[in-house]
Amino acid sequence: MAGMVVYLDHAATTPMLPAAIAAYAEAMSVVGNPASVHSQGQNAKRMLEESREIVATSLACDPIEVVFTGSGTEAINLGIKGLFWARAPRRRILVPGGEHHATLDTVEWLAQHDGAIVEWIPLDHEGRIDLGALADAIARDPLDVALVSVIMANNEVGTLEPVAEVAALAAANGIPVHVDAVAAYGYVPVDFRTLAAAGVSALSVSAHKVGGPVGIGALVLGRATTVEPLIHGGGQQRKVRSGTQDVAAAVSFAVAASAITVEQRAARQPEGAGGVKTVRLAALRDRVIAGVARVAPGAVLNGDPTTRLPGNAHFSFPGCEGDSLLFLLDAAGVSVSTGSACQAGVPEPSHVLRAMGRSEVESRGALRITLGHTSTDADVDALLAALPAAHAQALVAGLADRVPGH
Amino acid sequence: MSGGVDSAVAAARAVEAGHEVVGVHLALSRMPGTLRTGSRGCCTVEDSMDAQRAANIMGIPYYVWDFSERFKLDVVDDFIAEYAAGRTPNPCMRCNEKIKFAALLEKAMALGFDAVCTGHYASILTDADGNKELHRAAAWAKDQSYVLGVLTADQINHSMFPLGATPTKAEVRAEAAERGFSVANKPDSYDICFIPDGDTKGWLGERVAPVTGNILDREGNTLGQHDGAVAFTVGQRKGLSIGTPAADGKPRFVLEVRPITNTVVVGPKEALAIKEIAGNKYTWAGLAPEHPDVAFPCHVQIRAHADPVPAVAQVVSTTAVTGVLDSVELRIIPNEPLAGVAPGQTAVVYVGTRVLGQCTIDRTVSAVPVAVTASVSTDTVPTASVPTASVSTATVPTASASPVPVNA
């Protein structure tokens, strides 16, 4: 560990599992294109497909349903664009307002370039999709709906979404549903078989959020679902995602995925209220929530207070700029996030908080603290020790730089 | 750190001087361009990356701070409003006054910093009593003290300009190359950063609706029509499209833009010569003169790249000249009449190399009197009290009642 740095931004990326690093390095030294017919090719193919099976197990789907991609973002693009194109000439895409940019920007692109009609489904004050509004939107013209896309756990505020209910509403009208499970995977059970039974057609995940490497994600594509590919070439992976497959990344991903499977099996034991990691993270998170309330009075917890990701604590600090707090905590050796998207490092007011009905000013003083497999009580102690001074100073800095003529 | 060579070298020198330095890039647009194109524009994602790479090399933390809203309100909207009011603003000065040494400095101080350090070519010297003074840079060709003329004593006390003593820009580039900065040979940025294609007229035309109005001579006679007073700047000769030639056959120039009546006043080139400049929004860059109401010799510079000219300046409290009650203004009388002066510009007053202060020009007096038989145009302030000169003002009287230095 380098110095005293306290890493509390696991939702951005989490440290790779040591076993995943070792497996990655070892697999990289193996030569062979899994599409080659000779022995080396067959060996590479074996490593790849074993990895696919392990990843499939962690997601409760069939191996043939796992399409490896270069990232979670690519998986989401493939799921949404692929379904939209496959469902032509249907035009409507129904999406909640607080989705990740991978979804927002994809559907906006389809609206601008491909005739899609995007309809934003409102969120409640805790960031949960308004199911009534979704039902109404579907009912307006169900035959023209190409797809519904919904996030499983909000990557900013951590609220768990009623994905099965969303799927049921859509399935009743024969509408496919894509689920963005990038933030949920590894933290709450992602059971594709159950979700598919409820009506989910495709689901996206990413390896680096769960202790695997950056550079590989997966789209789980139900065997009955067709999507148009984004990338054309050698016809790998159900002809849905051409390109030589990254065996080493898949092997490393599989190591992280198997840890998830172990965790979820533990969670399903009758005496367990959750897996070891989940229970431990939820306890740390609740320490963060209680501690912030104590040392930074006025801070508001965003998202559902209980139906939320075990590692996520997201706050608004009225009167503070999120990026001031981030800077001050960073200077104190604590890495956190404002949680919102950046363009050239510029934090925008959180579109998630805006979609939850917060004002633009409230949407700026946000801070996301996310825990992961390496987090400890000492990390939480360090955060709570640094926060009072940072909070006081950020309050002084205030929103002065926003107020003209000050 | 803009992503340019000057701020990168300034930061590196501050680091080497032993300061604890954090690199900050100002995001001034919510929709930054992706790539820099030629030397135009700034604040693109590429510029931000250039700044970050320089910060990486000198081993300092780096952050992007978002001042896009302040910048829009205080600089961009102000620029449009000033043009719409017939004045010629300098947005870079406004940015220094309102953003870099105000919003940024305030935020930095609140977060525990002591000073803002920039790559401006200017020097801060300390007088015998320990007071900080703002001076021209050693490199006269690169000197940027003019655009810093708006700084107040308090701001100067919390500013650092490590490039001030550097004799040439070439030396800064060589130092950047030696330090391994990728920006060593990056072109200088010109033009107004928020008008990336450099077409200021076209950009303004999209934002200020042009309304047809009259072109007048100095005596108030209508000579023709224009397509929008805002498109004209004082000193402009081309594009007047007046049918009838002047009586003396000489070309006519824009002398005045009057937004209230949407008229443009034209006249002979000689009438552009200004014998008096005044503004009631003035500040002192450091210690104020002991007796500012006693006329003192100085040099005045009215544009970033203009030459300073000898003048006398004084602070005058008056009600008679401007027609504004209790007006206190900085009045500057150049030794020789001065061309190219327009309301909205900043007059920076120097004593030697020292920047003493500045005012935003809101009143000028032409050296060439209007013919005695002239009819007086109605939208200017009373000219009766100064019968030998035409008084040009673009200031709405009720809006200029601030007798104290602004930029507190």
Read off the CATH number of the domain in which A316 is found.
3.90.1150.10
Model pLDDT, residue B256: 86
CATH number for the domain spanning A170: value is 3.40.640.10
Instruction: Answer whether residue A389 shows pLDDT above 60.
Output: yes
- A-chain residues near B65 (CB < 8 A): 323, 401
Instruction: Answer whether residue B32 shows pLDDT above 70.
Output: no
- A-chain residues near B73 (CB < 8 A): 404
Q: Would you say residue A395 lies in a domain?
A: yes
DSSP string, A134-161: HHHHHHH-GGGEEEEEEESB-TTT-BBP
CATH number for the domain spanning B320: value is 2.40.30.10
Instruction: Answer whether residue B376 shows pLDDT above 50.
Output: no
Please state which of the ranges B17-31, B32-46, B313-327 shows the lowest mean pLDDT.
Answer: B32-46
- B-chain residues near A393 (CB < 8 A): 110-112
What is the rounded (10 degree) CA torsion for A119, A120, A122, A125? 180
Judge: A401–B64 Cβ closer than 8 Å, yes or no.
Answer: no
Judge: B107–A328 Cβ closer than 8 Å, yes or no.
Answer: no
Q: Would you say residue A223 lies in a domain?
A: yes
Instruction: Answer whether residue A404 shows pLDDT above 50.
Output: no
Q: What is the mean pLDDT of residues B351-365?
A: 94
Residues A244, A331: one domain? no
Residues A100, A236: one domain? yes
Q: Would you say residue B206 lies in a domain?
A: no
- Domain with A313, as residue range(s), is 6-14+273-402
Q: The tokens of B39 are what? A: 């030397």
Q: What are phi and psi of B122, to 5 degrees?
A: -165, 165
Question: Considering CB atoms only, which of B61, B70, B98 is closest to A402?
Answer: B70
At which of B229, B247, B268 does a domain end?
B268
Judge: B65–A323 Cβ closer than 8 Å, yes or no.
Answer: yes
- A-chain residues near B27 (CB < 8 A): 344-346
More confidently predicted of B324 and B304: B304
Which 3 state secondary structure label does DSSP give B47?
helix
- Domain with B160, as residue range(s), is 5-200
Residues A10, A26: one domain? no
Count other C-beta atoms under 10 Å from residue B112's C-beta.
15
Model pLDDT, residue B371: 61
pLDDT band at A361 (very low <50, low <70, confident <90, very high): confident
Q: Would you say residue A135 lies in a domain?
A: yes
pLDDT, tens only, B155-210: 999 999 999 999 889 999 999 999 999 999 888 876 788 887 778 888 888 888 87
At which of A206, A241, A263 does a domain end?
A263
The closest alpha carbon to A364, from A346, A376, A386, A387, belongs to A346
The span from the CA of A66 to the CA of A77, in Å, is 15
Question: Considering CB atoms only, which of A347, A393, A406 is closest to B111?
Answer: A393
Q: What is the mean pLDDT of residues A162-171?
A: 97
What pTM, to 2 d.p., does this model score?
0.84
Contact A394, A325 (CB under 8 A): yes
Q: What percent of chain B has pLDDT over 90?
A: 49
The span from the CA of B71 to the CA of B74, in Å, is 5
At which of A209, A231, A263 does a domain end?
A263
Model pLDDT, residue A317: 94
Q: How far is A229 from chain B (nearest CA, A)?
A: 28
Element (H, E) at A266: helix A247-268
Instruction: Answer whether residue B393 shows pLDDT above 80.
Output: no
Model pLDDT, residue B163: 96
Q: The tokens of A317 are what? A: 């600090």
* Nearest residue in chain A measured CA to CA from B61: A331
* Nearest residue in chain A measured CA to CA from B99: A401
Instruction: Answer whether residue A76 shows pLDDT above 60.
Output: yes
pLDDT band at A341 (very low <50, low <70, confident <90, very high): low
Judge: B63–A402 Cβ closer than 8 Å, yes or no.
Answer: no
Contact A239, A229 (CB under 8 A): yes
Judge: B48–A345 Cβ closer than 8 Å, yes or no.
Answer: yes
Number of folded domains that form chain B: 3
Predicted complex ipTM: 0.84
Q: What is the mean pLDDT of residues A270-279?
A: 69
pLDDT band at B37 (very low <50, low <70, confident <90, very high): low
Residues B248, B379: one domain? no
Model pLDDT, residue B244: 67
Q: How far is A345 from chain B (nearest CA, A)?
A: 6
- B-chain residues near A328 (CB < 8 A): 111-112
Residues A206, A254: one domain? yes
Which 3 state secondary structure label does DSSP give B69?
helix
Residues A325, A208: one domain? no
Residues A233, A367: one domain? no
Residues B59, B138: one domain? yes
Q: How far is B70 from chain A (nearest CA, A)?
A: 6
More confidently predicted of B388 and A192: A192
- A-chain residues near B104 (CB < 8 A): 401
Q: What is the mean pLDDT of residues A60-78?
A: 98
Please state which of the ranges A184-193, B175-184, B242-251 shows the lowest mean pLDDT.
Answer: B242-251
Residues A141, A282: one domain? no
Q: Provide residues of A within 8 Å CB-CB of chain B.
A: 323-324, 327-328, 330-331, 342-348, 393-394, 396-398, 400-402, 404-406
User: What mean pLDDT is reported for chain A?
Assistant: 93
Judge: B103–A327 Cβ closer than 8 Å, yes or no.
Answer: no
Instruction: Answer whether residue A401 shows pLDDT above 60.
Output: no
Instruction: Answer whether residue B333 shows pLDDT above 80.
Output: yes
Q: Would you say residue A268 lies in a domain?
A: no
The closest alpha carbon to A92, from A62, A64, A114, belongs to A114
Residues B262, B303: one domain? no
Q: What is the mean pLDDT of residues A171-193?
A: 97
Residues B264, B293: one domain? no
Model pLDDT, residue B68: 86
Model pLDDT, residue A398: 80
Q: Would you say residue B389 lies in a domain?
A: yes
Active-site residue numbers of A? 342
